[in-house]
Structure 1
Amino acid sequence: MAHTLTQEYMQIPAVTRAYTTACVLTTAAVQLEFITPFQLYFNPDLIIRRYQIWRLVTNFLFFGPLGFSFLFNMIFLFRYCRMLEEGSFRGRTADFVFMFLFGGTLMTLFGLFANLFFLGQAFTIMLVYVWSRRNPYVRMNFFGLLNFQAPFLPWVLMGFSLLLGNSIVIDLLGIVVGHVYYFLEDVFPNQPGGRKLLVTPGLLKLVFDSPEVDPDYSPLPEEQTAGPWPSSRDQREQDHGQEGGQEPPRDLHNGDPQEL
């Protein structure tokens, strides 16, 4: 049983696994009173004057005490982060990490001018927004009560948050940052005169992506094989084409509504 759970856990894409695990462990540490939320929240004064740099990260990891709100956020975070990583970012881990850094930086800059302490929920809404805009024809079902197309999902979540008595500022921040990323990455480069403005740094590609096959590489004579089997170069190029050469088509379909 434990071995099966470990296998299932390791099959989760790396970025999704790392982020959701960090969120759960942070909440568990607070529940067990190893740390307090006062050591985690976003405070520009403490970051700048007392060099508590970790707050730039920890404010994205704490979603409040265990309860309905925490479980709700974790379900949406895990679900849509994983679908993005396995879908439009498949084979592009560095680009996915760059989206994390871009979104987190914009939210942090906004947090400098607003009284916001934790930005994890806004980050979740950003992921939901990007996924929904890249899958506009997917039909959604909100707890069996409401049917709608995927692009309306962030707004439905914001309305649900409002019904629970929560502030919608965090949700709006996630929507705005998600739209900025979507526009710069998917819309503007395809406009007349547009160009790609968000370029993933080479260092991230070196760390997170597998190295590309050298197109000028020629195998030594002893590496070449005779007969119907593909050569080592052909096999590497085929694997590269399947895993990292082209982005798989995005999930644009009109199937059965997805249950939330």
Structure 2
Amino acid sequence: MSSPGEFYKSLPPISKAYGTLCLLATLGAQLQLYDKSSIELDYRYVIYRYQVWRLITSLFFLGGFSINFGIRLLMIARYGVQLEKGPFDRRTADFLWMMIFGALTLLVLSLIPGFGTPFLGISLVFMLLYVWSREFPNAAINIYGLVTLKAFYLPWAMLALDVIFGSKIMPDLLGIVAGHLYYFLTVLHPLAGGKNILKTPMWVYPFLIETCKNLHT
């Protein structure tokens, strides 16, 4: 059985980087190293006070330490890693572009009245979950030892559980919408004879190299 350190080293680069940043963001808030309101997405501060960092920092906060936080982190470690090691194997740049596209989509959706949410970390995790569920639709998933269902229905089951336990529904829905948009443009539309208009741009590759370099230093 591998140690936690060996498990962490074995993680693929993008899932590792995103999961680590989410953990650090929550840890920093928990230790009161910063006020979480200073990193939330508020377009009034972005536009009128030029606090553009909010467009990025809001993507990494998953909430305070709780069972829900642990579940979201495990979702990155399981579904994000399975995607990156499976359908995106040797396509790390494409996986990174999927994350970037998801983040941009969520930021645009948050501009729509009624769709805004202060933190988009949960939404981005749900996007990963949705794409995973479409890539592995027939995988059998057991939820808390109570019910077994096909992976295709997992995002909706997790959304229903969040509603039951009193969590906000909007972050989950935004992630599902972003995930479906990505999957439609990259898989469903090309399969129907359309052109893939969401190819990974060339500027992602240097950014990927720098990210991987930082993870190994």
Please report the TM-score for the alignment, with normalisation by the length of structure 1. Answer: 0.75
**Judging changes above 3 Å, is the alpha-carbon distance between structure 1 residues 164 and 10 closer, same or farther for their aligned structure 2 residues?**
same
Q: Match of 1:226?
A: none
Secondary structure at the counterpart of residue 78 of structure 2? helix
Q: Tell me the distance in 2 between the aligned counterparts of 1:144 and 1:153.
A: 14
Equivalences, count:
206
Q: Match of 2:205?
A: 205
How high is the sequence identity, in percent, across the aligned residues? Answer: 36
Matched, 1:17 2:16: yes
Q: Tell me the distance in 2 between the aligned counterparts of 1:147 and 1:138.
A: 10
Query: More displaced, 107-116 or 35-44?
Result: 107-116
Asked if the contact 2:117–2:170 (Cα under 8 Å) also holds between the matched residues in 1, the reply is no
Letter in 2 for 1:196: N
Letter in 2 for 1:90: D
Aligned-residue offset at 1:34: 0.7
Q: Tell me the distance in 2 between the aligned counterparts of 1:31 and 1:15.
A: 24
Letter in 2 for 1:26: A
Q: Tell me the distance in 1 between the aligned counterparts of 2:25 and 2:17.
A: 12
Q: Tell me the distance in 2 between the aligned counterparts of 1:118 and 1:128.
A: 17
Aligned-residue offset at 1:178: 0.6
Secondary structure at the counterpart of residue 202 of structure 1? coil
Aligned-residue offset at 1:77: 2.1
Aligned-residue offset at 1:112: 1.6
Q: Tell me the distance in 2 between the aligned counterparts of 1:187 and 1:115.
A: 28
Aligned-residue offset at 1:5: 4.3
Secondary structure at the counterpart of residue 148 of structure 1? strand
Letter in 2 for 1:93: T
Q: Tell me the distance in 2 between the aligned counterparts of 1:167 and 1:62.
A: 15
Aligned-residue offset at 1:27: 0.8
Please report the TM-score for the alignment, with normalisation by the length of structure 2. Answer: 0.90
Q: Tell me the distance in 2 between the aligned counterparts of 1:8 and 1:167.
A: 32
Q: Match of 2:117?
A: 116
Q: Match of 1:220?
A: none
Secondary structure at the counterpart of residue 196 of structure 1? coil
Structure exhibiting the larger radius of gyration computed from Cα positions: 1
Superposed CA RMSD in Å reads 1.6
Structure 2: which 5+ residue stretches go unaligned? Answer: 210-217
Q: Match of 1:28?
A: 27
Q: Tell me the distance in 2 between the aligned counterparts of 1:166 and 1:119.
A: 14
Structure 1: which 5+ residue stretches go unaligned? Answer: 210-260
Q: Tell me the distance in 2 between the aligned counterparts of 1:41 and 1:67.
A: 19
Letter in 2 for 1:82: V
Aligned-residue offset at 1:42: 0.2
Q: Can you list the C-alpha shifts for 1:43-71, whole angstroms capped at 9, x where unaligned? A: 11111222211111111111111111211
Q: Tell me the distance in 1 between the aligned counterparts of 2:110 and 2:95.
A: 22
Secondary structure at the counterpart of residue 203 of structure 2? helix
Q: Match of 2:126?
A: 125
Secondary structure at the counterpart of residue 196 of structure 2? coil
Q: Hey, which of these two has a bigger chunk of helix by percent?
A: 2
**Judging changes above 3 Å, is the alpha-carbon distance between structure 1 residues 118 and 207 closer, same or farther for their aligned structure 2 residues?**
closer
Q: Can you list the C-alpha shifts for 1:8-35, whole angstroms capped at 9, x where unaligned? A: 3222111111111111111111111110
Q: Tell me the distance in 1 between the aligned counterparts of 2:4 and 2:123.
A: 30
Q: Match of 1:143?
A: 144
**Judging changes above 3 Å, is the alpha-carbon distance between structure 1 residues 5 and 149 closer, same or farther for their aligned structure 2 residues?**
closer
Q: Match of 1:78?
A: 77
Q: Match of 1:53?
A: 52
Aligned-residue offset at 1:167: 2.2
Q: Match of 2:36?
A: 37
